[in-house]
A and B are shown apart, each in its own frame.
Chain A
Amino acid sequence: MSKLTSGPLSELTNESYHWERYTFKQKMGRYLAFFVVAGLLLWTFNTIDVFWPWVWSAPEEIQDMVSRMMPPNPYAVPEILPVLVETINIATIGTLFAVIISLPIAYFGARNVSPNKITLGIARLIIVATRSINTLIWALLFVAILGPGPMAGVVAIGFRSIGFMGKLIGESIEEMDWGPVEALQSSGSSRGHIISYAIVPQVMPTFWAVTILRWDINIRESTVLGMVGAGGIGMLFQVAIDLFRWNDVSMVLVSIVTVVLFGEVVTGLVRRKLI
């Protein structure tokens, strides 16, 4: 017994010792986080501009709407299919458009290969601005410029994707192995050769991954473009809602879910093949 009490186990027999999961500092940090969240919630509830009776009646209203939607109207399918295809086309061409433009942007926006500070700054600005403005807001703008139709949707999808792809591809350029570039430089290669033989092969896997990811996202995004007149299934959705054709609305919803799942399956297959 005396051996035991002299070892580390003596702490267990010592009455005054308590095991605690967190140190004092950690505990205070957790209390602080708790009170910040609680305070923000309280502030939100007290100041948010909400008509509370609407909140309490919301479950009934939603139930009522869902009951009107049932069952989905299968006769709307012939009308839906062509715009569904158009939705996929908008996503695909928009992604293609973004791929073409985002590659130089990524090159100029990567700190280690950009020719100078000015090109770096301009590319970064383009990336931030196009990435932070949502597709729907771009669509609003391009419908005003190009007129309603799928073309505005393609350009909107493309613009939003430029920043996204430019940022991710640019980051992969910044992280690449510098060895091949030096090897080519020492052989006296031109900038074009360095790009196509040292940079492109290293960035290729990221490029495909980002393109596939963005196509998947763009299919989701292009389902709503029509609500501002930029083509695709969103238009049909808006019309069905405005005319209170609830059974058509639910059919459109079903087809949106289907097309998004289709996109997910396709990207899964391509990803497994390529990467």
Chain B
Amino acid sequence: MSGTSSTVSADQHYVWKRPHFIESFWVRIGIMILSAVYLVYAFSTLEIDFQRVARGIPRAMQIFSGAIPPDFAARGSLIVSGFIESIQITFLATFVGVLLSIPFGFMAARNVTILPVYGLGRAIVIVARSLHPVVLGVLFVKAVGFGAVAGVLTLLIYTIGFVGKLIAEAVEEIKYGQIEAIRSTGAGYFTILIYAVFPQIMPRLIGLTMYQLDINLRASAVIGLVGAGGIGSTLNSAFGRYDYGTASAILIVMIGLILVAETVSGKLRRFTR
């Protein structure tokens, strides 16, 4: 260190340089080269067909000229009923989904279960979380037919994946004082869960439910694209009819609704905390 400072005072031409993000020179160069090679390879797999893009530009113009101005009136009642169905799907799926994710969440928490149950709970939560709602939506539409039932089932699984994981994390962080207190009265396993563990995670659970309402509303808009009911189905048929005015109207209402839901969910979460 002292050597560096003496060179600084001796050398008039010293210019400060900011430290590099990765200190080692060779590691830095290595990562750069690897990234460059990967990028060249990845771009080469994209198969950009410029002729197709050129043909796409007039098509884009056609879409946008159809989409502006948005047409709220022509299919107004369809838009309204689509959004109401989306809200209903969201509400049912969140309510039932949160109730179901409580047992799965407890199963996936290492500190309150035995190892085999933990493994099973963990696996269920991980699989439910890894599958995109649209994938689940396609499966449920195949299994139970088009419409809201498939939508509710899809979001149910989606909710279990997300809320279940966070409940498990909350359970793993509980304080043990209450458990010992309840256990000292001679309470059994489930009594301990209900009176010592559950009250500790309740505030977080309510906050999570509000958040999940918001997430499920967003998701319910897309699962309709694969036939699982709600506004997505309306949007899909508007696209299918080349009715871009209605499609853009739906998108605008969707953006508005999502913003409102986000604000309300945030307010409720702050209120319940």
Inter-chain CA distance A54–B225, complex, in Å, is 20
B235 touches A137 (CB 8 A): yes
B132 touches A220 (CB 8 A): yes
Q: Does B266 contact A (CB under 8 A)?
A: no
Which B-chain residue is minimally distant from A88 (CB atoms)? B42
Residues of B within 8 A of A147 (CB): 49, 52-53, 55-56
Residues of A within 8 A of B18 (CB): 197, 201
Q: Does A144 contact B (CB under 8 A)?
A: yes
Which A-chain residue is minimally distant from B91 (CB atoms)? A44
Inter-chain CA distance A211–B220, complex, in Å, is 26
Pick out which of these stretches binds chain A: B1-9, B142-150, B189-197.
B142-150
8 A Cβ contacts from B206-222 to A: 218, 221-222
8 A Cβ contacts from B28-45 to A: 38-39, 42-43, 45
Could you say which of B60, B131, B221 contacts A256, with CB atoms under 8 Å apart? B131
Q: Does B139 contact A (CB under 8 A)?
A: yes
8 A Cβ contacts from B74-115 to A: 84-85, 88-89, 91-92, 95
**Contacts A61-B144, A151-B46; is A257 near B59 (CB within 8 Å)?**
no
Which one of A197, A201, A237 has the greatest number of beta carbons of chain B within 10 Å? A237
Could you say which of A129, A151, A253 contacts B48, with CB atoms under 8 Å apart? A151
Inter-chain CA distance A234–B222, complex, in Å, is 15
A132 touches B144 (CB 8 A): no
**Contacts A132-B259, A149-B49, A261-B126; is A241 near B142 (CB within 8 Å)?**
yes
A150 touches B138 (CB 8 A): no
A28 to chain B, nearest CB (A): 15
Residues of A within 8 A of B126 (CB): 257, 261
A50 touches B235 (CB 8 A): no
Residues of A within 8 A of B53 (CB): 145-147
Q: Does A140 contact B (CB under 8 A)?
A: yes
B3 to chain A, nearest CB (A): 26
Which one of B63, B143, B251 has the greatest number of beta carbons of chain A within 10 Å? B143
Q: Does A12 contact B (CB under 8 A)?
A: no
Could you say which of A51, A201, A234, A237 contacts B147, with CB atoms under 8 Å apart? A51
Residues of B within 8 A of A57 (CB): 144
Which A-chain residue is minimally distant from B47 (CB atoms)? A149
**Interface size (B, Cβ < 8 Å)?**
56
Q: Does B249 contact A (CB under 8 A)?
A: no
Q: Does A40 contact B (CB under 8 A)?
A: yes
Hey, what's the 0/1 contact readout for A48-81 against B, CB within 8 Å counting as 1?
A: 1111001101100110110000000000000000
Which B-chain residue is minimally distant from A47 (CB atoms)? B88
Which A-chain residue is minimally distant from B132 (CB atoms)? A224
Q: Does B198 contact A (CB under 8 A)?
A: no
Residues of A within 8 A of B131 (CB): 253, 256-257
Residues of B within 8 A of A220 (CB): 130, 132
Q: Does B155 contact A (CB under 8 A)?
A: no
Q: Does B134 contact A (CB under 8 A)?
A: yes
Tell me whether chain A's interface is mostly helix, strand or loop, or mixed.
helix
Could you say which of A54, A132, A197, A241 contacts B149, with CB atoms under 8 Å apart? A54
Inter-chain CA distance A40–B149, complex, in Å, is 18
Which B-chain residue is minimally distant from A220 (CB atoms)? B132
Residues of A within 8 A of B45 (CB): 86, 89, 150
Q: Does B239 contact A (CB under 8 A)?
A: yes
B85 touches A49 (CB 8 A): yes
Could you say which of A47, A61, A128, A261 contacts B259, with CB atoms under 8 Å apart? A128
Could you say which of A136, A146, A150, A224 contacts B56, with CB atoms under 8 Å apart? A146
Residues of B within 8 A of A144 (CB): 56, 59-60, 63
B224 to chain A, nearest CB (A): 10
Residues of B within 8 A of A151 (CB): 46-49
- A interface with B by C-beta (< 8 Å): 37, 40-41, 44-45, 47-51, 54-55, 57-58, 61-62, 64-65, 86, 89, 92-93, 96, 128-129, 132-134, 136-137, 140-141, 144-147, 149-151, 154, 197, 201, 220-221, 223-224, 227-228, 234, 237-238, 241, 249, 253, 256-257, 260-261
- B interface with A by C-beta (< 8 Å): 18, 38-39, 42-43, 45-49, 52-53, 55-57, 59-60, 63, 84-85, 88-89, 91-92, 95, 126-127, 130-132, 134-135, 138-140, 142-145, 147-149, 153, 218, 221-222, 225-226, 229, 235, 239, 251, 254-255, 258-259
A140-B239, A234-B134, A253-B131 known; 4 new pairs, CB 8 Å cut-off, are A45-B92, A47-B84, A51-B149, A134-B222
Residue contacts A-B, CB under 8 angstroms, 20 given: A47-B88, A58-B153, A62-B144, A65-B143, A92-B38, A93-B42, A128-B259, A147-B55, A150-B46, A154-B46, A221-B132, A234-B135, A237-B138, A253-B131, A256-B130, A256-B135, A257-B126, A257-B127, A257-B131, A260-B130
Report, nearest first, the 4 A-B pairs whose CB atoms are least far apart: A147-B52, A260-B130, A132-B255, A224-B134
